[in-house]
Amino acid sequence: MSRFSKISIVAILLIAVMVFVVSSLSLASSGGTKAIEEAAAQVTGTEHVWWFWPLVLFVLTFVLGIFAVLAGVGGGVLYVPIVSGFLPFHLDFVRGAGLIVALAGALAAGPGLLRKGMADLRLAIPLALIASTCAIGGAMIGLALPTNVVQTLLGATILMIVVIMIMAKKSEFPNVPKADALSQSLGIMGVYHEPTLGKDIDWKVQRTPIALGLFVIIGVMAGMFGLGAGWANVPVLNLVMGAPIKISVATSKFLLSITDTSAAWIYLNNGAVLPLMVVPSVVGIMLGSLVGVKVLLVTKPKVIRIMVIVVLGVAGLKALQKGLWPELI
């Protein structure tokens, strides 16, 4: 296993342990919830016309949509920490909206990726079953935990994502000497034409049982934080399983349409979805993504990626502060 796949696994496991430990500790004492809600209420001290915050959301998500494309990340991972960190909405509704935003993006991209054979249904189905099942659990845990705890865990998770974004490399064509028994029995393999090389690439995958285990954690976190989970899907598909990067990115995007569906239902059924937040966010991020694709042709994605990492880092710290020291707002 390469150094980076080990780093990815260790990072995801670390996040999981952290989530478990902090959740356990917090279930005993949930006194911070009131404080954060009062603090959030203070932010909205001034009343606005009804369309003010939806318009802010639309403009913000439009910009996020552009940046998400340029930085190669999903909308949800930017949306949740930034909107919950800097706008007056309660984290419950931000997570609900974040899931619908990530879901809409994945649903929109899915058909094209499947038709072109970039997203692989046979690769996605077993992983999606695990992730979507666990996302239900994650969503239920996220809605049951006190807000300050979820906010703290979100901040820590975002900071870990920043570390993963900085450290994890991509492997265009990972070397998979032998497919594992499980993937062989499920027939998970394929071939695609790589235009940059002008040849067909055969691919197969390895370590499927380990990947399934990691998707348990990915599913729980996707549901708990409403983040989408492309940031974790791609390293597991590419570095752990050994799928080519293009197959990994496309299959990850498609996977989100299934993982986020199950969690979105839990938020929807719990009343944590407000149309006045969701619709401007979905429309904004979709329009922004369309513009982002155009901008991608004339900009340097590396610079944008660094900017996004910095913004995510700040948003992660802000979420930590709101969770641990809400009185500082």
Partner 1 sequence: MAEKATEEQILYASILNKGMMIGFLGLCATFAVYALGILSPMIPIGEVQHYWVMSVADYLQESGIKAGWAWAGNLSYGDMLNFAPIAFLSGLTVVCYLAIIPGLLRKKDKAYVVLAVLEVVVLSVAASGILGSGGH
Q: Does 275 bind partner 1 (CB under 8 A)?
A: yes
Return the residue of 17, 27, 44, 172 that touches partner 1, per CB under 8 A.
44
Q: How far is the CB of 88 from partner 1 (least distance, A)?
A: 6
Q: Does 244 bind partner 1 (CB under 8 A)?
A: no
Considering only residues 137-176, where is the footprint of partner 1 by CB under 8 A?
A: 140, 143-147
Choose between 143 and 160: whose C-beta lies nearer to partner 1: 143
Return the residue of 20, 86, 173, 192 that touches partner 1, per CB under 8 A.
192
- Bridging pattern class, strands 189-194 and 199-204: antiparallel
Cβ atoms of 285 and 106 within 8 Å: the answer is no
Choose between 59 and 191: whose C-beta lies nearer to partner 1: 191
Considering only residues 99-118, where is the footprint of partner 1 by CB under 8 A?
A: 100, 103-104, 107-108, 110-112, 114-118
Q: How far is the CB of 117 from partner 1 (least distance, A)?
A: 3
| Alpha-carbon distances, residue 53 vs 31, 187, 285 (angstroms) | 29, 49, 15
Choose between 140 and 311: whose C-beta lies nearer to partner 1: 140
Return the residue of 129, 163, 291, 329 that touches partner 1, per CB under 8 A.
129
324 Cβ neighbours under 8 A, 6+ residues apart: 148, 152
Q: How far is the CB of 35 from partner 1 (least distance, A)?
A: 12
Closest CA to 109 of 219, 244, 252, 222: 252
Return the residue of 24, 28, 31, 49 that touches partner 1, per CB under 8 A.
49
Q: What is residue 31's three-state secondary structure?
A: coil
Q: How far is the CB of 6 from partner 1 (least distance, A)?
A: 29
d(CA 242, CA 229): 18
Rg (alpha carbons) of the chain, rounded to whole number: 19
Choose between 171 and 251: whose C-beta lies nearer to partner 1: 251
**DSSP code, position 89:** -
In sign, the C-alpha dihedral spanning 25, 29, 30, 34 is: negative
Which secondary structure element, helix H or strand E, spans residue 194, and what is its range? Answer: strand 189-194
Considering only residues 202-231, where is the footprint of partner 1 by CB under 8 A?
A: none
d(CA 68, CA 189): 29
Choose between 146 and 235: whose C-beta lies nearer to partner 1: 146
Return the residue of 17, 125, 167, 293 that touches partner 1, per CB under 8 A.
125
Closest CA to 237 of 221, 220, 223, 254: 254
d(CA 112, CA 198): 21
Cβ atoms of 65 and 55 within 8 Å: the answer is no
Q: Does 265 bind partner 1 (CB under 8 A)?
A: yes
Choose between 284 and 313: whose C-beta lies nearer to partner 1: 284
Choose between 200 and 298: whose C-beta lies nearer to partner 1: 200
d(CA 76, CA 101): 6
Partners of 201 in beta bridges? 192
Q: How far is the CB of 2 from partner 1 (least distance, A)?
A: 25
The binding track of 66-95 with respect to partner 1, each residue x by CB under 8 A or -, is: ----------------------xxx-xx--
